[in-house]
Amino acid sequence: MSTLNDGSFISTVYIHPGGGAIARNNHKNSDKRRRILDAAVSVFAEKGFFQSKVSEIARMAGVADGTIYLYFKNKDDLLISIFEEKMQEINVTFRRALEEEKDARARFRKLIHMHLAGFQAYPELAAVLQVELRQSSRFMRGYKKVELKKYLDFIGEVIEQGQKERAFRPDIPLGLAKRLVFGTLDEVVSTWVLAGRPYDLETLADPIVDLFLRGIQREPSGTKTETERR
């Protein structure tokens, strides 16, 4: 659909650890750890965090219940770990992918596309990050979402760069702008997930970009708009 065929923000990273020479395994049998994590994503996505039983995750991962506790502190930690590892992968992938684009507007556009295309490619992960994660009290309370902050900062950087390049308005409070962008994407993905993913998510990217860039307001006469002009 999109020319942003690198939109899948996970696969990139998936390849590296297994295939490359660089093994960043903390645990000997890191494959088991990954199997547990993948099973957790599946089960959480299907049943919801609270309906998911640790024993079911264990069964799906092909390990004993107790084994899970060799890799994760507890059920909550499982959820948090999904978040941390996936967000980190996302951050890495995004940063790498956006380096290809030099222009701020193009970067901004690509960011939106990747966000939507990424979740579209990993709907189970989308369900977990968008819905189930919020059910963890540890996640919602007191836990420093470092990687999420990084993602927000990342959005901020793109906007800031745009301001430096004089492509974006200089008077926008950065903290607000990034929250605004993230909030919208978050809302759009959540709605899509909770509605049962009935439509193509990435289709929304361009209109969203347009809206962000130009605003709701009808521009003062004398200003030309590609779409509006006839």
Return the number of the residue (18 or 215) whose C-beta is nearest its own copies.
Answer: 215
Element holding 160 (H helix, E strand): helix 146-164
Q: Which residues contact 58 (CB under 8 A, 6 or more apart)?
A: 36, 39, 64, 65, 67, 68
Q: Is 79 in the site for its own copies (CB under 8 A)?
A: no
204 binds, among its own copies, DNA, none (CB under 5 to 8 A by kind): its own copies
Q: Is 208 in the site for its own copies (CB under 8 A)?
A: yes
**Using CA atoms, how far apart are residues 90 and 101, in angstroms rounded to an integer?**
17
194 binds, among DNA, its own copies, none (CB under 5 to 8 A by kind): its own copies
In order of 56, 134, 170, 187, the CA distances from 219 in angstroms are: 56, 39, 18, 26
Cα dihedral sign for 111, 117, 119, 121?
negative
**Using CA atoms, how far apart are residues 124 and 104, in angstroms rounded to an integer?**
31
18 binds, among its own copies, DNA, none (CB under 5 to 8 A by kind): none
Instruction: At 136, list the tokens.
Output: 């963890």
Among 117, 185, 201, 202, binds its own copies (CB under 8 A): 185
Count of CA atoms in the C-beta half-sphere (13 A) of 144: 2
Count of CA atoms in the C-beta half-sphere (13 A) of 51: 9
12 binds, among DNA, its own copies, none (CB under 5 to 8 A by kind): none
Q: Give the nearest distance from C-beta 54 to its own copies in angstroms.
A: 15
Residues lying near DNA in the complex (CB under 7 A): 27-29, 32, 51-55, 63-67, 69-70, 74-76
Query: Binding string, 90-129, against its own copies, x = CB under 8 A?
Result: ---------------x--x---------------------
Return the number of the residue (44 or 151) whose C-beta is nearest DNA.
Answer: 44
Please give the distance of CA 54 from its chain centroid, rounded to a whole number. 25
167 binds, among its own copies, DNA, none (CB under 5 to 8 A by kind): its own copies
Cβ atoms of 24 and 105 closer than 8 Å: no
219 binds, among DNA, its own copies, none (CB under 5 to 8 A by kind): its own copies
Question: For residue 224, which amino acid is it?
Answer: K
Report the interface residues with its own copies, using CB under 8 A: 48, 50-51, 105, 108, 131, 134-135, 137, 140-141, 159, 162, 166-173, 176-177, 179-180, 182-188, 191, 194, 204, 207-208, 211-220, 222-225, 227-228
